[in-house]
Copies of this chain bind each other. A is one copy, B any other.
Amino acid sequence: MRVGIIGLGLIGGSMAIDLRRRGFADETVGFDADSVNAAAAERIGIVDRLADYESCISLSDVIVLAVPAGTAAELLPGVLDRIACSDSGREKVVIDVCSTKSVLAECAGRHRMRRRYVATHPMAGTEYSGPWAAMSGLFDGHACIMCDPWKSSSDAVELVEELYSVLGMRLLKMDSSGHDMHAAYVSHISHLTSFALALTVLDKEKDEKNIFDLASGGFSSTVRLAKSSPDMWTPILMQNRENLLEAVDTYMERMGMFREAIADGDAESVRKLMSEANRIRKIIK
């Protein structure tokens, strides 16, 4: 089977590496609109070969759209148009790997090739981006959410199930709007809190050497996501705006409760809030 990867960054690149290495793909072809990324991906050996955008679609049995969420929304209808024009189009499968799903679900909408598209969100990554951040094993053991699988052909769903099984992912199925709500709480909001934390310390500690010298391991892990790519995260936050604003409001309310208790010298309330938060110990390893 030939797998075409559009977007050779962290996610697309890591998929290309393991789909080939683990035998799901006999050949991988890749395209990246950024010429530096494309050249680096070829040099590193992330894909077997580069192709232009059209060829990457026409040559491949499975097309992975591994681009930022805004770009994916722009490209998806065109990709589906293209496979409709091909004789082999009815067997091709298109997947995306975006962190937001409702906007893409609308884009695919009532396209006559809708059933060849499978919406997925492999929930794995690092704070780094670009082909040089791609790595084998990135997805192992993590969850992948497949959205609205009933809108896709069953053979397409089965192929994508196999693809993620090869990548070592646990597959969960839900509808797009449920996905976006959960994603706001267990992923998107934590990026915002991290970005805001970085801005806070950068604002206060004018001498960056102090941050470098003094930052604790705890601080580093909490601020890690603030290294994430604005190109990737801007469209995610904008597309998931409503869920995210609700999450931000709950978050600011909780932070406000801490602030008030600390300002009041109310140690008991501070302790109680922390004890309640400690429940996360039993859930997150």
Instruction: Please give the residue numbers on chain A whose beta carbons come within 8 Å of chain B beta carbons, in ascending order.
Output: 123-127, 142-143, 145, 170, 172, 182-183, 185-187, 189-205, 208, 210-228, 230-231, 233-235, 237-238, 241, 244-245, 247-252, 254-256, 258-259, 262-263, 265, 267, 270-271, 273-285
User: Are the C-beta atoms of B278 and A230 separated by less than 8 Å?
Assistant: yes
Please name 9 further chain A to chain B contacts, defined as beta carbons within 8 Å, in addition to the given A182-B214, A198-B280, sorted by A numbering. Answer: A143-B213, A170-B213, A187-B216, A192-B258, A196-B251, A201-B280, A220-B284, A238-B265, A252-B252
User: Are the C-beta atoms of B143 and A214 separated by less than 8 Å?
Assistant: yes
Binding site of A, secondary structure by majority: helix, strand, loop or mixed?
Answer: helix
CA distance A185 to B199 in the complex (A): 11
User: Are the C-beta atoms of B205 and A222 separated by less than 8 Å?
Assistant: no
CA distance A234 to B271 in the complex (A): 6
User: Are the C-beta atoms of A185 and B198 separated by less than 8 Å?
Assistant: no
Pick from B234, B270, B275: contact of A270, CB under 8 Å: B234
A216-B186 CB under 8 A given contacts A194-B222, A280-B227: yes
Collect the chain B residues with CB atoms within 8 Å of residue A196's CB: 193, 251, 254-255, 258, 277
Pick from B124, B186, B191, B201: contact of A210, CB under 8 Å: B186
Collect the chain B residues with CB atoms within 8 Å of residue A276's CB: 199, 202
